[in-house]
Amino acid sequence: EEPWGFVDLEKFSPPLRYVVHLFNTSPAVSLDTLYSPTPGVEKVRVLYDYMDRKTDVVIYPSNVAPLAMEKSGKELVLSLKGLERKVEGEKAGVRPSVPTFEARKKVYTGKRISLEFKNADIRDVIRILSEVSGLNFVVDPDVKGTVTVKLDNVPWDQALDVILRTNKLGKVVEEGIVRIATLKSLAQEGRAQESARKALEKTKPMVLEVIPLNFVEADKVKDLITPLLSDEGKVDYLERINSLVVKDNAERIAKIREFVKKIDTPTPQIQIGARIVEIVTTYLKELGIQWGFLWRQTKTDMSFPYSFGVGGGVTPAPATSQALTTMEGVSGWSPASIAPGYVVDLPAAVMTGSGGAIAASLLNASETFGLDIRLSALEEEGVARTVSNPKLVTLDNQEAEISQGYEIPFATVSESGTETEFKEAKLKLLVKPHITSSGDIVMDVEVSKDSPDFTHVTPDGVPIQTRSVKTSVRMKNGDTLIIGGIYEMTKSKKNNQVPGLSRIPLLSWLFRHRMENLEKRELLIFVTPTVIEAGMVQGER
């Protein structure tokens, strides 16, 4: 018997949505108004049925959660996982404005009056308000009772609402005539009108019609059409020609056609431009030394040793070691006895086109002692920049992927023999964009760059270096965003030295080779989404 007996709640899926039916209402907003999304609610759509004088509030939740509806006086509370928004309207049968999910305070615009009554007949009070408003009032015979009220400087329409609410009465305004009745009478009248409407609709002839669709899939539209059908109506779809098959009366089919016209629109396209920049900076520094000596005596005063020679034995000295090679050619000396060579042979990797070296040779006058020394140094700096610029076009809310790269072969040994398999090393861009109602673009982006590392080849094959970024972002149309960066620095120092001697203070450099290596790698990823407007040629932006 409550006024909210005019409300009904239904659940449909897919997609999951709740439909609140508000009967005996009048439109106050555009039929396709989309209210601002609320946390937990993806969107809200309001549809008005002029034929049935019914408002449908369609709620699309962002996750799977039950919707609870609680009726309390003139307030309807909808709860979705703790989220509550109040839907306000008038009492039953009042033709309220289309409710929204933000509580709105009613604005009264009537002439201000002051009232003071004690146990006054309610019919007399209503007659006074009728004279103040200038409208025609009709009071049902069931309206009885007394009024005790004291109001100062309030709009007459607000005073009327307060008096009616206090006495469990309601009103219906039609073409300048205000009808006052009990809430029970209005509720019964509303149910009777609804029953009569349904009975009348059953007498209307049924029509079978095929409605073709151009941009949306028929199986997904079918569930959206179901709430628009009459009790006798049916809907199905033909997948082969992507069309709806609707059986209902002509008026219902006309409404369905109008609805389909609004939703059967082209899906927006989005061009995703990605710029992937990889910068590799290398630095190498080497300091090396080679030195050797040869000391020999061809005749001594002893029978043993009668002659001797002492020199480096690591590596035979090259022809450029003048002191040692000169001593080797002195008559009376047997080359087979001891070959001139280096004591310390720790050079830098100097070669034609890289690094430098300086050598010195010392020999005494009697040609019994010779010393060769060679210092080498190398320093290298390098910068490599790799730029990849993949682009792709996809539909709104559709995942797209583009990739390019290598397939690296590697051998596997099993009982059946040796087999060759391939492992992918690719640059891949995976993106799923969505255009919001505000025109922003929300994207799920995954970018990966795998490359073969030929500098660390193993007997099992070529290793793959992997770099990837995965994120979700929200940005404006046409803006460019750096969604991630991977910074890697490898710093190494290496000493090749002679044990013990390399630790002698001041002389340690004579027995040591030093190498420093620094490598920096930085991966930057730039993403630019652009909505392709109708008629726009790709690449205009």
pLDDT tens digits, 109-160? 888 989 888 889 988 888 888 888 888 888 888 888 888 888 899 998 888 8
Q: CA of 147: how far to CAs of 96, 117, 209, 289, 416, in Å?
A: 25, 7, 58, 114, 101
The residues, any chain, with a CB within 8 Å of residue 54's CB and separated by 6 or more, are: 21, 22, 23, 24, 25, 48
The pLDDT score that the predictor gives to residue 19 is 83
Tokens of 139: 């009071």
The pLDDT score that the predictor gives to residue 427 is 78
Q: Does domain 112-199 have CATH number 3.55.50.30?
A: yes
The answer, yes or no, to whether residue 15 has pLDDT greater than 80, is no
Say if strands 391-395 and 481-497 run parallel, antiparallel, or are unpaired. unpaired
Q: Which of 103-112, 140-149, 295-304, 342-351 has the highest mean pLDDT?
A: 140-149
Confidence of residue 243 (pLDDT cuts 50, 70, 90): very high
The pLDDT score that the predictor gives to residue 339 is 56
The pLDDT score that the predictor gives to residue 291 is 85
The pLDDT score that the predictor gives to residue 196 is 76
Residue type at position 84: E
Confidence of residue 315 (pLDDT cuts 50, 70, 90): low
The answer, yes or no, to whether residue 87 has pLDDT greater than 70, is no
Q: Which of 79-88, 184-193, 404-413 has the lowest mean pLDDT?
A: 79-88
Q: What is the average pLDDT score of the chain?
A: 77
The residues, any chain, with a CB within 8 Å of residue 282's CB and separated by 6 or more, are: 380, 381, 382, 383, 384, 517, 518, 519, 520
Query: Which residues of the chain does CATH 3.55.50.30 include?
Result: 112-199
pLDDT tens digits along 28-72? 544 444 555 566 777 777 776 655 667 778 887 877 667 777 766
Question: pLDDT higher for 3 or 236?
Answer: 236
C-alpha 211, offset from chain centre:
36
Whether 298 contacts 332, CB under 8 Å: yes
The pLDDT score that the predictor gives to residue 511 is 85
Tokens of 464: 């793959």
The pLDDT score that the predictor gives to residue 212 is 92
CATH class of the structural domain 205-263: alpha beta
The pTM for the full model equals 0.46
The pLDDT score that the predictor gives to residue 438 is 79
Confidence of residue 327 (pLDDT cuts 50, 70, 90): low
Confidence of residue 385 (pLDDT cuts 50, 70, 90): confident
Whether 269 contacts 531, CB under 8 Å: yes
- Stated as kind and residue range, the H or E segment containing 388 is strand 369-388
Summarize the confidence of residues 512-537 as an average pLDDT.
80
Residue 404: phi and psi, rounded to 5, are: -155, 150
Query: Which residues of the chain does CATH 3.30.1370.120 include?
Result: 205-263
DSSP for residue 497: E
The pLDDT score that the predictor gives to residue 45 is 76
Confidence of residue 365 (pLDDT cuts 50, 70, 90): confident
Residue type at position 324: L
Q: Which of 392, 461, 395 is nearest to 425 (CA)?
A: 461
Summarize the confidence of residues 168-186 as an average pLDDT.
84
